[in-house]
Amino acid sequence: MAVAAPLVAQRSWSFRLPAEFGHRDITPELEALVRESGVRTGSVVVQLTGSTGAITTIEYEPGALEDLRRALEVVAPVRADYAHNARWGDGNGFSHIRSALLKTSLALPVVDGKLALGTWQQVVVLNLDNRARTREVVAVALGVG
């Protein structure tokens, strides 16, 4: 019985996002990566570089995004007292906490050549910093055809 050779494809993208909750749905880019890679069964690992942004899944619509923004304000308020701000004076301690809670990477299954996402589930990049940033995202698809 022949063993299928693994398939690997990597892409990176950069997006300029506004400060304090700039966002972008990157699901189409990830779906294109899977399609172009030929992976039928495997996974996609996606990473946002940096410590003041995040990658998550959510229904990409204004209400859900606003609810997430408000929840983050409860957990890590912008105007709270942060030791990071005292040490560095850059005022973005909240963004580091939010990033650590949401995380900067995801692993997503690929099943039958498609990302295993729910109907209303999209992959979203968030800029949580207190200034606009160009965010780099790196993704790798790995699996068999």
| pLDDT, tens digit (0-9, with 9 covering 90-100), for 24-80 | 999 999 999 999 999 999 999 999 999 999 999 999 999 999 999 999 999 999 999
Cα 142 from Cα 145, distance rounded (Å) = 10
| pLDDT at residue 100 greater than cutoff 90 | yes
Superfamily of segment(s) 7-144: YjbQ-like (2.60.120.460)
Predicted structure pTM score = 0.94
Using CB atoms within 10 A of its CB, is residue 137 exposed (0-12), middle (13-18) or buried (19+)? buried
Per-domain boundaries in the chain: 7-144
Cα 7 from Cα 56, distance rounded (Å) = 25
- What does the angle CA 21 – CA 10 – CA 130 come to, to the nearest 5 degrees? 15
